[in-house]
């Protein structure tokens, strides 16, 4: 899946030591465009943090995986970015359809394609 928007906030870089060695996680807030913009918290893990240096104000398209897990009867959802396209590339790779004239029915034809 992909999500496109503008980076509005970078949260503090988190690092730690686990059984597999040192880990790092960079979370950031992405605001989606549209009439009703949504803010989504995404995370980059490990080497993806260094490969994808992002800045507040950048327009990006993030390829993401969404995963939920249960802990003590509560569910937690993680949105992990595994690839990021910036600027003009973000506009070209956006898989989300936009509501433009190409999706509107052609009112000039006088007929619709409904089977009933």
With beta carbons less than 8 A apart as the criterion, state whether 79 and 43 touch: yes
Summarised one tens digit per residue, pLDDT across range 55-106 is 999 999 999 999 999 999 999 999 999 999 997 665 554 444 443 333 344 4
Residue 115 counted as domain residue? no
- What CATH number has the domain bearing residue 21? 2.40.50.140
What is d(CA 75, CA 69) in angstroms, rounded to the nearest whole number?
Answer: 6
Residue 105 counted as domain residue? no
Q: What confidence category does residue 110 fall into, taking pLDDT thresholds of 50, 70 and 90?
A: low
Better-scored residue on pLDDT, 28 or 107: 28
Residue 43 counted as domain residue? yes
Rounded mean pLDDT, 38-54: 92
pLDDT attached to residue 112: 55
Classified as helix, coil or strand, 73 is coil
Residues 6+ apart with CB under 8 A from 24: 13, 14, 15, 16, 45, 46, 49
CB count within 10 Å of CB 60 equals 23
Residue 30 counted as domain residue? yes
pTM exceeding the 0.85 threshold for the entire prediction: no
Residue 23 counted as domain residue? yes
Provide the domain limits for residue 82.
2-90
């Amino acid at each position: 899946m992909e999500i496109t928007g503008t980076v509005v906030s970078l949260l503090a870089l988190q690092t730690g030591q686990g059984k597999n060695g040192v880990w790092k996680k960079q979370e950031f807030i992405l605001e989606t465009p549209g009439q009703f913009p949504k803010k989504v918290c995404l995370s980059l893990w490990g080497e993806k943090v260094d490969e994808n240096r992002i800045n507040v104000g950048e327009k990006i398209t993030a390829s993401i995986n969404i995963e939920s897990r249960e802990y003590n009867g509560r569910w937690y959802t993680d949105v992990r970015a595994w690839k990021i396209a910036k600027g003009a590339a973000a506009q070209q790779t956006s898989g989300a359809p936009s509501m433009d004239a190409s999706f509107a029915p052609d009112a000039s034809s006088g007929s619709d394609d409904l089977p009933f």
